[in-house]
Structure formats: C-alpha cells, structure tokens
Structure 1
Amino acid sequence: MFTKITIQTDERGLLFHKGSYVRMLLPGTYRFAPWSQHSVTALKVTKPFAVEGKELALFLHDETLTRQLDVVRVADHEVVLHYEDGQFEQLLKPGVYAFWNVLKRHAFVRADIRDPELPAEVDRALLTKLTTHVQSYEIESFEAGFLFYNHVLQRQLAPGKYYFWRGPTAILVKTVDLRQQQMDLLGQEMMTEDKVTLRLNFVCQYKIVRPDRALELKAFDEQIHIQLQLALREYVGSLKLDDLLRRKQEAASFALSRLREKSEEFGVSFLGAGVKDIILPGDMKEILNTVLLAEKKAQANLITRREETASTRSLLNTAKLMDENETLFRLKELEFLEKICEKIGSVSLTGGGDLLERLQMLIGEKKPAGRGRA
C-alpha cells in the first residue's frame, strides 16, 4: 500500500530521502511506497521558510526552491527592516532568513549600525515598534547639543529629536543651556584693608554664547564662581570698611569689569552684577550703631543751639526797634491788651500810671506803678 500525501495550494512540500533533502514539491497529491524511505515536510507559504532541525543552507542549492524564496543575509554590523506587502513586519538581526514570495511581496531596508543615526528612509512612525532597538535624545529650543560616538565629539546638534540604533557604538548627547543664568555668591567671608572681616552676598547674571567652550572647561560653573570670588576679594581688600560701605555699589562695576576680561576664555557674556547684602560681625554692628547714635545726638544738639541763638537774636532786634520807635512801643501795648482780652471777658483799670505798666501788672509782671483790678 502506498502512502498518499497532499500538498495544499498555500503550501510547498520538501521531499527527503533517508533524511536528506531531494527537491521541492508543488501543490498536488503524491504517493510513496512504504519501503522507499521518503518523507515529506509541508510548509505554509504565508510563514517564513524554516525547517526544524535543518539549516537553511541545506536547501539553497535547489534553484527551483530559491526562485520562490526571498533570501536575506544580515551582517553582524547590520539590521534589516522587513516589510510584507508594504507593511512593516519585523526587524531582522544578524543571520540568514528566507521568506516565500509566491503569495506576499517582501521588501527590506538595510541599516549599518556602525553609523548609529537612523537613516532618513526609516519611517519615524515605526519607532514605537522599535523601542528595544532604538534610543532617542531631545534638544530643547533653548539648548545646544553635542553628539559623541565612543566619547569622541562628532558635531553640534540643533534643537530637535534624534534617534540612534542601539549597537556597538556608545552614544552620548550632552546639552548646554543657552538661557540667561544667575550665579549667587552667598555668605562669602572677606577682609577689608583695615582688617575687618565681613560676609558678602553677591549676584551675577550671564549667558553662554559659545557652548563648545562650556564643554571644554571642567567644572564650568565652579570656575566662573572662583573668578567672581577673586574679583570681589580684590575690591574689598583695597578699601577700608567706611569706604566700602559708602562705595558698595561700585563693587558690582568692578567685579563685572574683571569678569568681562574673561568673557572670551569662558565663551560667556556677563550681563550684570550687584551687591545684595554686606553682613557685619555682631560687635562691629554695635560699634557702628553707637557711632551713628552719637552723630544723630550731636546733630540734634546743634540744631537746638541754632534755634535758641536765632530766637535770642530775634528778641534783641525787637527790643532795639521798640527803643527807637515809639509807635512800635504802642503796638506792643496793644499786643499785651490782645493777650489779656483773649482770656478775660471784661477788664477795669483804676489808678494812675502808664497803660503798658498796668497791663504788665495784669499778666503777672511786677511793676511798682499803678494798681489794677479785674
């Protein structure tokens, strides 16, 4: 009795004799004698060509078979994007692959991962399916980026998003912030020319204009910080405390001029600076407060003496005018009368004597002439 084997339309058969491949069988029915030691493996043409336990190379000498296969060899430094009928199917790693071409149309896009950046022909819409094979870096609009392969600088990157294959090349992207930045110098102890130790709070604004220099300098921010410290120490150390307190706003101009001398070296534009606080030791504060209080008291005493002198001088001038002018003397009498009338409803005067003398007696001045009754 013969063994009957049927190969379906969507199948191809592989005929083996004693385990060795003989040829490909097209769709149809085949009969084999039991003693012939033939066997047939049926493969679906909708799936990749693969025979369990057999290497692909064992079949590639059959030209009839290979005409119905798309064979792809992927080198160690490559990856291949596999498309079926225009749709992405999978990413092929290094190896040899075969796909039936009788029902489906296959296309392949190769990428050399020794050049890690994704080529333009790779559709960015596929990246969600390639997350395990691709890494990305993003450069913000206010940043400058620098691309390194195996720690070697390749080029500067403009703002945008960049994709790279994960492979033998180590990828690194460093960014530099190009926005205006501020550096605070807080609680820096410094000594004036007259050996007074104080603490200074200072602020400086700057902007990086050559980002490559920021990468070339180790501890970039720290170096600017040190330059600012040195400039302030130079300024504070050249002045006595009183001069420093009087000219503290000039410290900003001095420090800024010193920093701008280093602008080219650092690749930085220094925009502004200013003194926030000068903090004195506790005992020095007490001394200055005592001096200030004494100065204010002296000023107050001086003003008081000036007013008393002016008042005395005014009285003296008035007395001289009254001696020289009888009319003015009479007006003074009326002035006394006005003062009395402001406080007393009615006034009766009896006795002799001058009117002025009697009025003076009414307001309390002791004069021997006249007698008054109110």
Structure 2
Amino acid sequence: MYTNIIIQADERGLLFEKGQYKKVLPPGSYRIWKLRSQTVTVVKVTEPFEVKGMELPLFLQDRNLTRELEVVEVSDHELALHYIDGKFHRLLTAGRYAFWTVLQRHHVVRADLRNPELGPEIDKAIIPRLHAYISVLDVASYERGYLYYNHVLQRELMPGKYYFWRTGAVQPVVKTIDLRQQQLDLNGQEMMTEDKITLRLNFVCQYRIVDPMRSLEMKAFEEQIYIQLQLVLREYVGTLKLDELLRSKQEVAAFVLERLNAKSEEYGISFRSAGVKDIILPGEIRDILNTVLLAEKKAQATLITRREETASTRSLLNTAKLMDENKTLYRLKELEFLEKICEKIGTISLSGGSNLLERLNTLLGASAVEATKEA
C-alpha cells in the first residue's frame, strides 16, 4: 500500500522510515509506502527549519539538505540580529538555528554582550523593536556622564543618548554630574560670637563643578561642602563681637568666599558668590537692641528739633537787625502783616475826608507811636 504526496515549490519534504530520517524531498510528486512505515513531514522554506520533537543535528548529516540551509550558532555571550532580504526580522539569543536559503537571503549581525554598549554596526532605526533587550541612558546638555562596567570606570560620556544591552554578565551604569551653577543653603546654624552671644545664621553660596571626576571620587560630596562652609563660618563669627558682626555682614561673605576658593581645587569646584541672608538674634538680645535703637532715634530727633529751633531764632534775629537798619524794609514788613490781617477781615470802615491810602498810613503811624510809648 502507498500514498501519493505532492511537494510544492515553496516546500520541502522530510522523509522518515520507521521514525528515522532518510532524506530531503525537493518539490514534486512522491509515492510513500506504508508497508515500509514511511512518513513525510512537509515544511515551508519561508520559515525557519524546525521539526517538532527532533534536534537539529540529526538533519545536518544530510549534505543535500545542508546545501539549502544556513546554520547560525549564537554563543552564550552573544546576541544575533537576524535579517531576511536586508530587513530586520528578529533577535536571536544563544542557540543553534537553521534557515532555508532557497527563496530568501539570510544574514545576521552579532553583538558581543561582554561589551554591552551597542556598536555602530547596529542600526539605530530598529531600536524601538528591541526595547525589551535594550536600556537607554541619557546625558543632558548641562551634564557630564561617566560609564562604569561592573563598577569599573570605562570612559567619560559627552551629552547625548547611549544604548546598552540589558542581558549579559556586564552591568553598565552611567553616573552623571550636573555642571550648572548650584546653590548651597546653610539655614538656622547656631553660632556664638566673641562676646558669648548665641545667634542663628542663614548663609547661602553659589558654586559650579569644574572637575566632575573629583566629585565622583568623594563620598557624600555635597555634605562635605556643607560641613566645610559651616566650619569656615564658625571660625569667623567666633572672632567677632555682635556689634561688629552686624556692621560687617559683607566682610563675612568675602572672608568665607576667599577661604572656600582656597579649597576649590581639592573639591573640583569653583565658588562664585556667597552672602549672609539673615542673622536671627535671641528674644532678650533683640529686645535690648530695640531699646537701644529707640533711645538713639529719640536722641537724634531731639537734636534735630533743637537745631531747627536755633536756626529759626537766628533767622528772626537777622531779620530784626535788617529791619532796624533799614526803615523801608521795616515799612514793607508792616505792609506784609497788614495784608495778612486784611485776609482774615471781612469789612474795614474808614471815616474822614482823606483817601484810603492816607487813612491806612495814619492807622499804621498811630500803631507805631503807641508801640513806641509802650516800649
């Protein structure tokens, strides 16, 4: 007994007899004998060569079959990008693969996981299709990056985007350093002046990292700068009395900035500016200073009042001397006062035959005579 089977142009047949592989059948018509326990497995040449339940090496002994196959072996430390007719198809992990070369052209691009960074041979256009296998690390335009493999420094990274394989024994890490100007705030620091007054100080300074490697080599980089600033402030404030400190806030900032820049090379940074934000005094000291300030202001106000009174008296004396020496000026002054009086009087009644100007002159003359008699 037999069975007829037809192998199409895009197919190949794998002939088995009593469960053992015998040969490959090219396209055509075949008679399969059941009495010999023959069977045929038909496979598509547009798909990877694979027979369920059987290992690939069992078929690679057939030279006629291997002439139509391309075998790809991927090591444990590798990944392979599989291309079909120049187009990316899929990613191959460690293992052995076989592809038909009858209707399609196959090639692979290998990636060595011992160097996890994607090389230039990997087309960046296919990265979105590999997101499960690739990690993306960014270095911003204001940063410098440092690449580590298993905690060992490899190189400095300039601003940009970098791609690494996630799988493999080598773990890549990128540490970034911000090169922008940064601010360090020292808030509420209790310090004692030379005259044993405890106060709280708020201080601020701006700095910029100029040697990123130095900051990476130091543990708790920002904490060390903070402590250094704190020590410099305590050193300077402890040499001043409270009044001196309140008068010389700018000098404190200049001293601290100078001392910090003396250590800038050690930290790999450049201190740009510094300043005292606030000086917070204890309640009782603040009350005492307010009392002193109030007393000073009252004394200043009294002094100013006395100066004004003295100036006013001196002005009156000078005016009197001028009027005594100059009768015309005296007369003008009388007219000035008469004008002021008239502004406040609604009606003036004069009797007699003389004109208005003569009557006013008589009035002023009589007033002058009465004043002389009284004197």
User: What TM-score range do you get, normalising by the shorter chain?
Assistant: 0.7 to 0.9
**Is the CA contact 1:333–1:355 (under 8 Å) kept in the aligned structure 2?**
no
In the alignment, which residue of structure 2 is the partner of 1:72? 72
Structure 1 length as normaliser, TM-score? 0.88
One-letter amino acid of the counterpart of residue 292, structure 2:
V
Q: What is the distance in 2 between the residues matched to 1:326 and 1:148?
A: 101
Give matches, 1:86-97, under 5 Å. 86-97=86-97
How much does 1:147 deviate? 0.6
Q: What is the distance in 2 between the residues matched to 1:20 and 1:90?
A: 32
One-letter amino acid of the counterpart of residue 5, structure 2:
I
Q: Which of 98-107 and 302-311 deviates more?
A: 302-311
Deviation per CA, 1:309-337: give whole Å up to 9, x if none.
45556666777x59xx9755786577457
How much does 1:189 deviate? 1.6
Q: What is the distance in 1 between the residues matched to 2:339 and 2:139?
A: 93
Deviation per CA, 1:1-60: give whole Å up to 9, x if none.
322222222111111121111111111222233321222111111111011110000011
Q: 1:338 to 1:133 in 2, by over 3 A?
A: closer
In the alignment, which residue of structure 2 is the partner of 1:267? 268
Instruction: Could you tell me which runs of 5 or more consecutive residues in structure 1 were left unpaired when the two chains were aligned.
Output: 362-366, 369-374
Q: 1:105 to 1:298 in 2, by over 3 A?
A: same
Q: 1:326 to 1:95 in 2, by over 3 A?
A: closer
Q: 1:356 to 1:56 in 2, by over 3 A?
A: same
Deviation per CA, 1:101-138: give whole Å up to 9, x if none.
00101011111111101111111010111111111101
Structure 2 residue matching 1:300: 3-state secondary structure: helix
Q: 1:340 to 1:87 in 2, by over 3 A?
A: closer
Q: 1:54 to 1:310 in 2, by over 3 A?
A: closer
One-letter amino acid of the counterpart of residue 245, structure 2:
L
One-letter amino acid of the counterpart of residue 272, structure 1:
S
One-letter amino acid of the counterpart of residue 47, structure 2:
K
Q: What is the distance in 1 between the residues matched to 2:164 and 2:201?
A: 49
In the alignment, which residue of structure 1 is the partner of 2:170? 169
In the alignment, which residue of structure 2 is the partner of 1:207? 208
Q: What is the distance in 2 between the residues matched to 1:28 and 1:333?
A: 147
**Is the CA contact 1:204–1:272 (under 8 Å) kept in the aligned structure 2?**
yes
Q: 1:37 to 1:309 in 2, by over 3 A?
A: closer
**Is the CA contact 1:4–1:30 (under 8 Å) kept in the aligned structure 2?**
yes
**Identical residues among aligned pairs (%):** 61
Structure 1 residue matching 2:258: 3-state secondary structure: helix
Instruction: Could you tell me which runs of 5 or more consecutive residues in structure 2 were left unpaired when the two chains were aligned.
Output: 343-347, 351-358
Structure 2 residue matching 1:358: 3-state secondary structure: helix
How much does 1:200 deviate? 1.6
Q: What is the distance in 2 between the residues matched to 1:349 and 1:141?
A: 94
Q: What is the distance in 1 between the residues matched to 2:133 and 2:225?
A: 41
**Is the CA contact 1:333–1:356 (under 8 Å) kept in the aligned structure 2?**
no
Q: What is the distance in 2 between the residues matched to 1:330 and 1:17?
A: 153
Give matches, 1:52-131, under 5 Å. 52-131=52-131
How much does 1:300 deviate? 2.2
How much does 1:151 deviate? 1.2
Structure 2 residue matching 1:183: 3-state secondary structure: strand
How much does 1:304 deviate? 3.1
How much does 1:88 deviate? 0.7
**Is the CA contact 2:2–2:35 (under 8 Å) kept in the aligned structure 1?**
no
Q: Say what the alpha-carbon RMSD is for the aligned residues.
A: 2.5
Structure 2 residue matching 1:114: 3-state secondary structure: coil
